[in-house]
Structure 1
């Protein structure tokens, strides 16, 4: 490779950050490739089985620690973030209304993977115009990359106690992506961890999935259970799921740093009408073709129709008693898969119990606490 002067590299790094922002990224940082410090945390997490059935974490551990194995010659990792919080996120309203479906706000718009990857590709091509010998490869959840570790090293933010990347000016409502390059650019410095003594995310988690600061047991996490977990959801977690049918935002909603989050400028991330604050019974009535049509280009589609039905059945069981819900569940029971039927039967039992005025449980109290925090503006209800 051509010998590059420090002056050229400094100027190029500055330009890369400007080009990245012009492409819609809110922040661009640069890190070296030494991720060995983070590998031990991954190993410990895996040894405890916290990855559940996400066996992809167990594979290619060497590649996660050594980015050059993914792109030979890699010298730097460019980390980017892009805000995704949509206008009128309606957090409190949707959580308060038990008959309304709650979908994690990262998934209410277009699937971010392709959008971010295309922007990163354009950033690589822009750099290539100024340095023809550049070799690059973009990544957005598409390979064994320790994205939060890279973001931390690149100064994008620090890893919060909920294991997500946090930023003082942006909270945590953003996507991450990486561009591997073979140029020895000057690196950015990590920023200070500012979680302090706060444990709000640990105490608000409905299933107590954050088993200790910075450690999440995925097997207990509602996001994992509704998205990654196949088959039957353990009964011990169903009530805690409430009306969350795809993912969960509770640990982000309660985080004080999200008072400073910004609304996305990307209209592709705006909430789709078909799923925004939608009634559970409306979504449950979709057949598979309607599900595929309404989730085309959405991250939701990846879970498939059966898991979608399973998740909604649990939410209907958790909803306030309604004769329409009860009759719908009973009618659906005769024409569904064995896996979904198990959850529908549970939901029917829950509705019948509510008809007898069962007192509120601890999970419902946690949700009410979360709603009160959101309504007070901590965090901001966009």
Structure 2
């Protein structure tokens, strides 16, 4: 178990280790634990702060008010974890199988869940492996301060990883690795070890605009600028309210997240599959139809999403998303029947989307 910061002396007896050799050893241990890559970043993200402030000023973050908080800690990681001298950044590939290059599958009756969310919650997997890595380092060098993170604190994790050569930020705002694409999750181990820092990689998006062109809701409003208020991932996961009607058709059958901008990216021709079993789909979440998911009651949802990222959206919002998917599906009389049958079981917010879905189905029937 990672030791608490208060119980560890600030002075660390690691002088007997060559820092370059220790860095290489740490990276080798990270790879053996199942991480796809490991780089060492300096605890400084000041350059990212002006970009975040501009993003917030434009309101692109929607209801994600947490992005407005702890700006100083985001820019200066040592304010979050004192005595931090280096940040060990890692990534885990999450693809179970490689998709067909530069193609977005079209199965309109299927319920599409983002690939990272079909198995166990990666946050738990990531933190567990980072704690193991910390313990391995401690066994080698003695006591040192460390704290693991996986999208769980005010950290510019993408910026830190990018500054140390994990990849570059693509026009869709996700990190891209030249030999692995972008289907990976990030994690960090804040460390009091003085390790040599890695250097940033060069960017390779060039004139490509594939991700911008493919976005179903045109959420990528300019290269490297994402308006979350239009993004399907935000709308189907973070947002709890009534989804604007003009965005519903673009959502299609995506009920939790969206992979389109990644699927179309040329660099994901090099995407690697995962070696971590936790990412393998559970409860058929890679092959269920919209109507099958529509049959889930709240008890089934809770049972089938235990330890899953799907818990984040909550049952009502999940059913809201499925209703939109059914409305966008090809016409079938059973779709209308099932929507009406369960309408009164849900809140007004869900009912609004059910009514819209019924109207969409009726319109397709009449046409």
Q: TM-score, normalised by structure 1?
A: 0.90
Q: Deviations over 1:255-275 (max 9, x none)?
A: 000000011111210112432
**Change in CA separation of 1:88 and 1:65 when aligned onto 2, cut-off 3 Å:** closer
Partner in structure 2 of residue 376 of structure 1: none
| 2:102 is the alignment partner of 1:96 | no
> 2 CA distance for matches of 1:92 and 1:204?
10
> 2 CA distance for matches of 1:92 and 1:18?
32
Please say if residues 42 and 86 of structure 2, whose CA atoms lie closer than 8 Å, have aligned partners that are also in contact: yes
Partner in structure 2 of residue 128 of structure 1: 138
Please say if residues 218 and 224 of structure 1, whose CA atoms lie closer than 8 Å, have aligned partners that are also in contact: yes
| Partner residue of 1:172 out of 178, 182, 190 | 182
Partner in structure 1 of residue 218 of structure 2: 208
> 2 CA distance for matches of 1:54 and 1:202?
22
Equivalent pairs counted in the alignment come to 357
> 2 CA distance for matches of 1:271 and 1:204?
26
| 2:342 is the alignment partner of 1:332 | yes
> 2 CA distance for matches of 1:56 and 1:67?
17
Structure 2: 5+ residue runs without aligned partners? Answer: 1-10
Deviation at 1:131, TM superposition (A): 2.0
> 1 CA distance for matches of 2:58 and 2:98?
39
**Change in CA separation of 1:91 and 1:259 when aligned onto 2, cut-off 3 Å:** closer
> 1 CA distance for matches of 2:104 and 2:218?
22
Structure 1: 5+ residue runs without aligned partners? Answer: 358-382
Q: Deviations over 1:251-302 (max 9, x none)?
A: 0001000000011111210112432210111101110000111111110012
Q: TM-score, normalised by structure 2?
A: 0.94
Please say if residues 95 and 243 of structure 1, whose CA atoms lie closer than 8 Å, have aligned partners that are also in contact: no
| 2:253 is the alignment partner of 1:243 | yes
How does 1:40-189 map onto structure 2 within 5 Å?
40-87=50-97, 95-189=105-199
> 2 CA distance for matches of 1:172 and 1:52?
24
Partner in structure 2 of residue 307 of structure 1: 317
Please say if residues 98 and 272 of structure 2, whose CA atoms lie closer than 8 Å, have aligned partners that are also in contact: no
**Change in CA separation of 1:225 and 1:232 when aligned onto 2, cut-off 3 Å:** same
Deviation at 1:334, TM superposition (A): 2.6
| Partner residue of 1:252 out of 227, 252, 262 | 262
Deviation at 1:250, TM superposition (A): 0.5
Please say if residues 51 and 219 of structure 1, whose CA atoms lie closer than 8 Å, have aligned partners that are also in contact: yes
Q: Deviations over 1:40-92 (max 9, x none)?
A: 11111011111000000000011100101111011111110110001376899
Q: Deviations over 1:310-352 (max 9, x none)?
A: 0000000000000000111111223321111000000000001
How does 1:340-355 map onto structure 2 within 5 Å?
340-355=350-365
Partner in structure 1 of residue 4 of structure 2: none
> 1 CA distance for matches of 2:104 and 2:211?
20
Task: Look up the SS of the partner of 1:282 in the other structure.
Answer: helix
Task: Look up the SS of the partner of 1:223 in the other structure.
Answer: helix
Partner in structure 1 of residue 7 of structure 2: none
